[in-house]
Amino acid sequence: MVCIPCIVIPVLLWVYKKFLEPYLYPLVAPFVSRIWPQKSLQQPSDQTKAKGDFKHEEIEVVYSLLQSGMIKHTVKMH
């Protein structure tokens, strides 16, 4: 047996998104934008760089070191 909120909440969200939001959003958006201003995008620092997020110059340096034989390429199998 499925609980009542598991049926009612998705239906209410669908009704809101489909019928109410197109009319309410234009009224509420100006107030929300004043309270919650958008911040400008910032470049990630070295500490917050995601794994695999490298600059083109960094890739060229590693590639040249691989070609010159200064570092060895090893593949780790898990």
pLDDT per residue as tens digits for the range 9-36: 999 999 999 999 999 999 988 888 888 7
Supply 4's token pair: 């009542």
* DSSP structural state of residue 27: H
Please state whether the predicted TM-score (pTM) of the whole model is above 0.85.
no
So what's the pLDDT on residue 65? 73
Distance CA 21, CA 27 (A): 10
Distance CA 15, CA 27 (A): 18
So what's the pLDDT on residue 10? 93
53 and 44 Cβ atoms separated by less than 8 Å: yes
Supply 68's token pair: 């010159």
pLDDT per residue as tens digits for the range 27-70: 988 888 888 776 655 555 555 555 556 666 767 777 777 777 66
Mean pLDDT, the chain, whole residue set: 75
